[in-house]
Amino acid sequence: AGYQGMGAQTGGRVVTAPHRKFKKNAPAWYEERHEQQRKAHSSRRIRVEHGIAHLKNWRALARHLGRREHMSDIVQAVAGLLSHQQSASLSRSFRG
């Protein structure tokens, strides 16, 4: 059934650990499933890592000396600037 001790943090969903990988002679279906799960996990993880990297590039987190309640406004402003920057570079790449 999985570990159920974090119900409040996961919205009631059950967190289950992935199946342990075979050491030798894994069936083909298992290798395919393992590869799909690995790619799905890494694609979710890279979005978060890129978001954190963009915040670090703008140095919003390192220079923040203000009050904590204003931090979400700063993060949203950086995200908006980044979104605008990416859409502008994307439109330039389509034109040229």
> Over the Cα atoms of the chain, what is R_g?
20
- Let me know if residue 9 belongs to a domain: no
Instruction: Report the number of distinct structural domains present in the chain.
Output: 1
Q: Do the beta carbons of residue 21 and residue 34 sit within 8 Å? A: yes
Closest CA to 51 of 91, 72, 78, 74: 78
- Let me know if residue 15 belongs to a domain: no
Q: Do the beta carbons of residue 2 and residue 14 sit within 8 Å? A: yes
pTM for the model = 0.41
- Let me know if residue 49 belongs to a domain: yes
The upper half-sphere exposure of residue 90, i.e. CA atoms within 13 Å in the direction of its Cβ, equals 6
Give pLDDT tens digits along the chain (96 positions): 555 566 667 676 666 666 677 778 888 888 898 889 889 888 888 888 888 887 777 765 566 666 777 778 877 887 887 777 777 766 666 665
- Let me know if residue 12 belongs to a domain: no
Q: Do the beta carbons of residue 3 and residue 16 sit within 8 Å? A: yes
* Structural domain boundaries enclosing 34: 28-95
